[in-house]
Structure 1
Amino acid sequence: MKRALLALTAAALAVGSTLAAEPWHEGVISRHVDQDALSGTLDKAALKALRKRGEELFVGHFTPADGVGRPFATQAIVPTKRKRPPENAFFRSAGLDANACAGCHNLPATGGAGDFVTNVFVSEGFESADFDSLDPQFSNERGSNHLFGAGLIELLAREMTADLQRIRREALAEARRVGSAVTAKLESKGVDFGTITAEPDGMLDLSAVAGVDHDLVIRPFSQKGVMTSLRQFTVNALNHHHGMQATERFGLRWTGERDHDGDGVEDEMSEGDVSALVAWQAGLKPPVERTPEGAGWQAAARRGSAVFDTLGCNECHRRSLPLRSLSFADPGPLDMAGTLREGELAEPAFYDLALLDWSRNLPRNENGEVLVPLFGDLKRHTIADQEVAALGNELLAQRFVERNVFMTAELWGAGSTAPYGHRNDLPTLDEVMRAHGGEGRPSRDRYMEAAEDDRSALIAFLRTLVIEP
């Protein structure tokens, strides 16, 4: 561990192949981050240096010198070859659609959300890469979510996954012990994920599991809740939106090639480069509840906070969830094939978010746990029905998640990230609240029936949930 801490300085981040040092080089990656220098808990200076490089990669505009484009690869999460290169390298449907991560994640600051113009088109891209279009039959249109507080979100998901999988193990052990079926409630941090029934022979009845995959892994990223980690999200997005292939998925070990997409640039994004991007995103300051200016707004926000609970909004948009540890392992314990994994390293890197200045302001409960004020529950819900269907406006399922099922949107930052809805087509908070169907329908109906002053106060409260640059 001592070796890594000493090695990881601003200079050590340049270890590896120097691609181009000339000041006129029209690229972002003049050097790769050395993954071998990342292990153990990074001290404050090392974490700062790594995050600085991550920010440079996030805001940099990738060019052909870096390897932007994927003429013979597709947007698929599994390396997949095209039969022929596309006529146009940049195309709105399933990418390429941006030169920089910050091209879409920029409201109200770098790492934030995106306006309607930055919407992306989600398509798996295995069999239909040659036929992708903006037609909703071929791709789902989505808005860009903000990334502030993303490290806290992933840490919550890891702890909740551990809780649910522990409950499964204990149910199986108890069923073997008593010789009969045992039904256990799947609950973590106060969020109910249904029940699981274990049989003495080890069989599991998963039919009553709710809001999470049957493997009980909380996948907190993407609007459908299908991305396990910031690392998976980053590797996917680099290829999908920029045509920048990460070696940990598209490199020699997995594809037998160093230039899988055939654009003439080998080993485009190193494992260390991805780690730098993850560290920067994981350390983004979480949104806050801002005290509004003026006595009138302050009074309305206080009233709106009470209305939020009265209408039942907090049943899904939980004000906070408790977090036991701020130590962020990268790669994490749940990363799977296609990303760098724990078992492939002697020791993962640990980014202690407690070293970051903003962590001192996080509230804690009586047990010393951090109360992450996400206004969410990290659970999938049915959010549309036949009468109120605006939020179920997709024709394609994603990773076996039904079309009308989405992850609860975290409301922290809602005051800074208009427009709203899964495809950024609802300009106001009032409109998105009226659009809730399915499991959100009771709260929506109560909102519709509420007095105008109460509706106005609720919006005043939500407008205080902001991202501070």
Structure 2
Amino acid sequence: MISVNRMPGVASLALVLGLQIGSAGSVLADEPWAERTQALGASEDMPTGVLPKDELLRLIDTGKALFEAHFTTLDGVGRPQATQAIDPTRRKHPREQVFFRTAGPDAGSCAACHNQPAIGGAGDFVANVFASEGFESADFDSLDPQFSSERGTNHLFGAGLVELLAREMSAELQAIRGDVLSQARAGGAAVRLPLEAKGVEFGYISAEPDGSVNLDELDGVDTDLVIRPFTQKGVMTSLRQFSINALNQHHGMQASERFGARWTGSDDFDGDGKTAEISSADVSALVSWQATLPAPVRMVPEAAGWAEAAERGEASFTDFGCTVCHRPALPLETLSFADPGPFDLAGTLNDGQVGAKAVYDISLLNWAKDLPRDAEGRVLVPLFGDLKRHVMTDNQIDALGNELLSQRFVDRNIFQTAELWGVGSTQPYGHRNDFSTLNEIILAHGGNGREARDAYAAAPDAEKSALIAFLKTLVIVP
């Protein structure tokens, strides 16, 4: 016990606490008071096969500990010689401090931004981040919008279901590409087919008998026909990619599968003296926790008249045309979440780069038993979205087109439909959290959302209020 009247010297204090005081990296991670993150390396190998419930829950617990952990310089926080770019990129000038609000690293933990109304949730305006575009030139320390786009933090509840929907929709769209090619070759003439997945239309695709494909009529999806369901722009393919990007940008923690010797030729690409900062097994643990977060639910507050108002508001939500983009539910064939997934590209592991993938069976979790199903047994994921990108501005209403940079080649005024499940728990609103009320963000819809916005704007105040009452029943209950 340390006396409050007489403090020991540094050496004797170290003996009292059982610490080693040699080099900066000598504090042992297996001591409960150590300043390293104990959950790092808790999973030595990537999981494989279908995980039984007890193994899945242990992996989820490890992932949660990593998500909540405040990483330290002993873990590898900071990237003095590396930028925040998606591709591993060297800095032109070494960073003199660990944290930097604009270009990052800007947070000690994932939970520092994802915490509203609980860990894994959204963030307030104060937690906004700055997404830089560019792969070799993302070396800046500026808030100027010509260098970065300010973004709010999205919540992750139900994220595993969203990624599963995106995978199934991508497979459907790519199957149509195969069909149009086969039909053109077999018939010896050009063929044009609609692109549709789970009832969501993504334009048209045409093919010639010689095997050439015309993608000029695509709408709201990339030319590889892969749905990328994460971030406001819809540019992140998977929770795995999202996690690897965020670890580097926000914490300066490099995942070996992207920043290790395989891709960069170095075990310490960022030059901070730490190697193997985040293993592929650590990333798998993080993915398992995010992928199994419960879906948001509907919950009517116990206030007089709220239930009746919400019922009227839900009808108006449809009548105004909001459900054209904010679809109440999309059907999902399976709750088996494979990790790594099938569509990731270089720098993020996919299922073709591992000997055996892991499968996290979401149906084993108690919250999943309450998910609605259709007559065919498919899960109806109540996301109020369509996983499609839309133009969100026009000549009269352009508040959502306030960025100067495109991100991953997606135009500045195009954003993916925001899933509204959980919207009652995640104020403020908009892609940079600068709308304080639901009324304000609805009125900011232009472009593809203009018709529904105008119908709402023209409605009586009581009808508008009822729609807001409905939206506020879509909440996150951890």
TM-score bracket relative to the smaller structure: over 0.9
| Residues in 1 aligned to 2:201 and 2:353: alpha-carbon distance in whole angstroms | 34
Aligned residue type for 2:89: T
Look up the equivalent residue of 1:380 and give its one-letter code: R
1:21–1:30 contact (8 Å) kept in structure 2? no
2:387 partner SS: coil
Distance in 1 (alpha carbons) for counterparts of 2:33 and 2:249: 27
Summarize the Cα distance change of 1:129–1:164 in structure 2 as closer, same or farther, 3 Å threshold. closer
Sequence identity percentage: 64
CA-CA distance at 1:254 after TM superposition? 1.4
Q: Sort the Cα spacing of 1:232 and 1:453 in 2 relative to 1 into closer, same or farther, 3 A.
A: same
Relative to the length of structure 2, the TM-score reads 0.93
Give the match for residue 161 of structure 2.
Answer: 152
Q: 1:134 aligns with which of 143, 148, 151?
A: 143
Structure 2 residue corresponding to 1:188, chosen from 197, 211, 219: 197
Task: Check the 8 A contact 1:143/1:424 in 2, yes or no.
Answer: yes
Find the counterpart in structure 2 of residue 11 from structure 1: none
The answer to whether structure 1 residue 122 and structure 2 residue 131 are counterparts is: yes
The question of whether the paired residues in 2 share the 8 Å contact of 1:75 and 1:124 is answered with: no
What is the CA–CA distance in structure 2 between the aligned matches of 1:215 and 1:35, rounded to whole Å?
A: 34
Aligned counterpart in structure 1 of residue 342 of structure 2, from 333, 336, 353? 333
Aligned residues: 452
CA contact (8 A) 1:19 1:30 kept: no
Amino acid at match of 1:373: P
Counterpart-to-counterpart distance in 1, 2:172 and 2:186: 21
Matched, 1:322 2:337: no
Secondary structure (helix, strand or coil) at the match of 1:61 reads: coil
Is the deviation greater in 376-385 or in 25-34? 25-34
SS of residue matched to 2:313? helix
For the 8 Å contact 1:29–1:66, the answer to whether it is kept is no
User: Displacement, 1:156?
Assistant: 0.1
1:94 aligns with 2:110: no
**Residue in 1 that maps onto 2:394:** 385
Q: State the alpha-carbon separation in 2 of the partners of residues 462 and 406 from structure 1.
A: 20
CA deviations over 1:109-161 (Å, ceiling 9, x no partner): 00000000000001035344443311111100000000000000000000000
d(CA) in 2 for partners of 1:29, 1:345? 26
The verdict on how the C-alpha distance between 1:267 and 1:19 changes in structure 2, with shifts beyond 3 A counting, is: farther
Shift of 1:88: 3.0
**Quick one: distance in 1 between partners of 2:210 and 2:135?**
38
Distance apart, 1:27 and its partner CA: 1.9
Q: Which amino acid aligns with 1:436?
A: H
Q: CA deviation at 1:409?
A: 0.2
Q: 1:436 aligns with which of 429, 440, 445?
A: 445
Residue 291 of structure 1 and its aligned partner are, at CA, apart by 2.7
Give the aligned residue type for 2:451: P
Query: Cα distance, 1:256 vs. partner?
Result: 1.4
Give the drift of 1:19.
6.2
Residue deviations 1:191-218, cap 9 Å, x none? 0001101111111111111000011000
- Name the aligned partner's letter for residue 158 of structure 2: G
Of the three residues 61, 66, 79, the one matched with 1:70 is 79
Equivalences for 1:430-469 in 2 at 5 Å? 430-469=439-478
2:333 and 2:98 map into 1 onto residues whose CA distance is 45
d(CA) in 2 for partners of 1:262 and 1:317?
A: 45
CA–CA separation in structure 1 for the residues paired with 2:39 and 2:210: 57
Residues 40-74 of structure 1 show CA distances to partners (whole Å, capped at 9, x for unaligned) of 00000000000000000000000001000000001
The one-letter amino acid paired with 2:456 is: Y
* Residue in structure 1 matched with residue 290 of structure 2 by the alignment: 281
Counterpart CA distance in 2 for 1:453 and 1:119 is 33
The DSSP-based 3-state class of the residue aligned with 2:305 is helix
Cα deviation code 1:403-458 (max 9, x no counterpart): 00000000000000000011000000000000000000111111110011100000
Report the alpha carbon displacement of residue 385 of structure 1 after superposing the two structures with TM: 1.4
Deviation at 1:295, TM superposition (A): 4.0
Give the residue type in structure 2 aligned to 1:459. I
Partner of 1:8: none
Paired AA for residue 320 in structure 1:
A
- What is the aligned partner in structure 1 of residue 419 from structure 2? 410
2:122 is matched with 113
RMSD of equivalent CA atoms: 1.2
Residue 187 of structure 2: aligned partner: 178
For residue 411 of structure 2, what is the amino acid of its counterpart? E
**2:352 alignment partner, SS class:** helix
Letter in 2 for 1:135: D
The aligned amino acid for 1:188 is A
CA distance in 2, matches of 1:141, 1:116: 10
Partner of residue 220, structure 1: 229
Q: CA shift at 1:393, angstroms?
A: 0.9
- CA–CA distance in 1 between the matches of 2:366 and 2:67? 21
1:147-198 alpha-carbon deviations (Å, 9 max, x no partner): 0000000000000000000011011001000000111110011100011011
> 1:341 offset after TM fit, Å?
2.0
Is the Cα–Cα contact under 8 Å of residues 36 and 74 in structure 2 kept in the other structure?
yes
Partner of 2:9: none
Aligned partner of 1:26 among 26, 29, 35:
35
SS at match of 2:338: strand
Amino acid at match of 2:201: D
- Which SS does the other structure have where 1:184 is aligned? strand
User: Which residue of the other structure, out of 239, 246, 253, is the alignment partner of 1:230?
Assistant: 239
TM-superposed CA distance for 1:30, in Å, is 5.5
Once structures 1 and 2 are overlaid, which stretch shifts more, 278-287 or 87-96?
A: 87-96
Match of 2:337, as an amino acid? F
TM-superposed CA distance for 1:31, in Å, is 4.4
* Matched residue, 2:174: 165
Deviation for aligned residue 1:267: 0.4
For 1:38 and 1:406, locate their aligned partners in 2 and report how far apart those are by CA, in whole Å. Answer: 35
Deviation at 1:94?
2.5
Contact 1:219/1:226 (8 A) holds in 2: yes
Write the distance in 1 (CA, Å) between the matches of 2:86 and 2:38.
23
For 1:239 and 1:211, the matched residues in 2 are separated by 28
Q: How does 1:288-367 map to 2 (within 5 A)?
A: 288-367=297-376
Aligned counterpart, 1:5: none
- Once the two structures are overlaid, the 10-residue window that deviates more, 455-464 or 32-41, is 32-41
Distance 1:63 1:216 in 2: 40
C-alpha separation in 1, matches of 2:211 and 2:94: 49
SS of the residue 1:371 aligns to: strand
- Residue 310 of structure 1: how far off its partner (Å): 0.5
Deviation at 1:345, TM superposition (A): 1.6
Mapped to 2, the partners of 1:260 and 1:400 lie a distance apart of 27
Question: How far apart, in 1, do the equivalents of 2:44 and 2:228 lie?
Answer: 25
Inter-CA distance 195–122: structure 2 relative to 1 (3 Å threshold):
same
Q: Which amino acid aligns with 1:409?
A: A
